[in-house]
Amino acid sequence: VAPKCTLQGGGLQGAVAGNPAVLRITCKDQYSNLATPAPTLKFGLSLQQVEATSDIKEKRRKGQEPAEKLQEQRGRTQKDNEGDEARAQKRKSAMEALLSQSFEGRWVDGEYEIRYVAQNAGAHQLHLWADPEGIGERAAVPGSPYTLHVVENDAAPASSSIGYPVTEEKKNIYAGEKLTLKPQLRDQFGNPSAAPPEALTALLEAPDGSHELSIKPNTGKGVGTYEVSCESNVKGEYTLHVELNGQPIGGSPGVFMV
């Protein structure tokens, strides 16, 4: 029975975006004895991202309450009129409304192994359930929902951007004017991601020759944000190459006129 199942594995607490996270479920009967699962038994999961505190504050400032807060308030007003059974039914209905996420599942040494892939970095709630008869009825397993933290994957050149100014007034700059770009590195799923200092390079091709530029982390602006500046004193065409592990990032090379 679902309430007696036991779960283990790193996939209950954390995951890396794009990498399989693993957990295992041990089936037990109502007396906590190891049980042979019925052929109809199915498992399911859903990942729900938790809103960041800053997003919640912004919604409150605009007069918009998060859905969870509104549900909590409605629950309080009806609390005196609802028994345990009614509240349990509400929780079950909420779980049944969750979108199921695909995963790889298989039986290993009498345990059911689940491998799932998260894509969005941040805090999540991991909902897990059993469907003993395989007819779509969800019964939460012990501990569900689990608090899960997903971290970003390695930065990917194709998902990152050079931060090249695209406004009309910056298509041409004057000699002696300082041009500053703010590259943003992201992983393959668009999550901000940092890189080792030696992995990110910048090269400026100028009328007077090529120059290597220093790229510095833009501290205080979030993960994966950087800054590179160049001061051009000779008129003509300039080309800026920004590469990650030897591969051009999005928008590179950037061309501008002085």
Stated length of the chain = 258
| pLDDT tens per residue, range 203-227 | 999 999 999 999 999 888 889 999 9
Peptide bond preceding 253 in cis form (omega within 30 of 0): yes
Give 111-166 pLDDT, tens digit per residue: 999 999 999 999 999 999 999 888 888 999 999 999 999 999 999 999 999 986 54
Helix H, strand E, coil C: the string for 132-197 is: CCCCCCCEECCCCCEEEEEECCCCCHHHCECCCCCCHHHCECCCCCEEEECCECECCCCCECCCCH
Q: What percent of the chain has pLDDT over 90?
A: 58
pLDDT in tens, 13-28: 999 999 999 999 999 9
Q: Between these two residues, 10 and 68, which has the higher pLDDT value?
A: 10
Which pLDDT score is estimated for 66? 54
